[in-house]
Structure 1
């Protein structure tokens, strides 16, 4: 009986210590997996309101960077091109409004895209580098009068990550 009690006093704490170490190793590997590109696989959607010349950091799309830091792409509203016929003016055509953006990737390279809901062959949504940019709205929507200065537009841009295509064929 003394042997059984002595065995329980030694084996039970030793077993508890081994279980704690295994749990800690499993939790640590789970943490490293969560920081290694989890944002690339996890769906997200965020809306940013930009004025001309302003930029926004797309934080949900951050990728692991050098020395463990995260780097995220940025999007900038470069220019608003409003060629719509002003109120009180006589025009040959109605015109359109478009929005020019620059996407700066974490490695510093840039790409440009234009969104418009009224421009001929214009698109309200575009996908670049796994991110989908969708025109969500603009303020003010009203066309200014012919003698008024151009308004300070605020463009709402919805950014989401596009789902990668599933290479696995699905049964019909």
Structure 2
């Protein structure tokens, strides 16, 4: 049988071990960046960006049929943007535009929502000027895991 002093010492030691184990910080996990749920991109014609591993987006073409500054036009025209999304499902294309019949400012493709934010320059170029180097702003939101 243990003596009372030895037993007290054992309980005290056991209490210290339990207290140390409970107050110790949890083991460190490898830090992982928070997954992105949305991102803004600015693209020029022909530019490709990586949205996720094995997922890219290319601004394939800009079509600007808006009435040029200084021209006489029977209709205002529109500007549209053709994109190509490449991912594990293959390639798919879509068009974004603000005021074009049959196109929308936002579209959902393969779990991603693409929303047109704007274009720079916003105004059509002058009548005899070369086409500007457009910069298209686009927001990409994750609608479901990709």
TM over 0.5: yes
Structure 2 gap ranges (5+): none
Inter-partner Cα distance in structure 2 for 1:19 and 1:129: 46
Deviation at 1:2, TM superposition (A): 1.7
Structure 1 gap ranges (5+): 63-70, 165-172
**Which secondary structure state, in structure 1, belongs to the residue aligned with residue 133 of structure 2?**
coil
What is the RMSD of the two structures over their aligned residues, measured on CA atoms?
3.1
Deviation at 1:20, TM superposition (A): 8.4
TM-score, with normalisation over the residues of structure 2?
Answer: 0.77
The answer to whether residue 49 in structure 2 is matched with residue 56 in structure 1 is: yes
Where do 1:12-161 residues align within 5 Å? Answer: 12=15, 15=18, 23-24=26-27, 39=35, 44-58=37-51, 62=52, 71=53, 73-105=55-87, 107=88, 109-161=90-142
Larger Rg: 2
TM-score, with normalisation over the residues of structure 1?
Answer: 0.67
Inter-partner Cα distance in structure 2 for 1:12 and 1:159: 55
User: Can you list the C-alpha shifts for 1:14-43, whole angstroms capped at 9, x where unaligned?
Assistant: 54686589x54xx75xx7xx78xx74xx7x
**Number of aligned pairs?**
141
Aligned to 1:4: 8
Give 4+ residue runs of structure 1 displaced > 6 Å after superposition: none
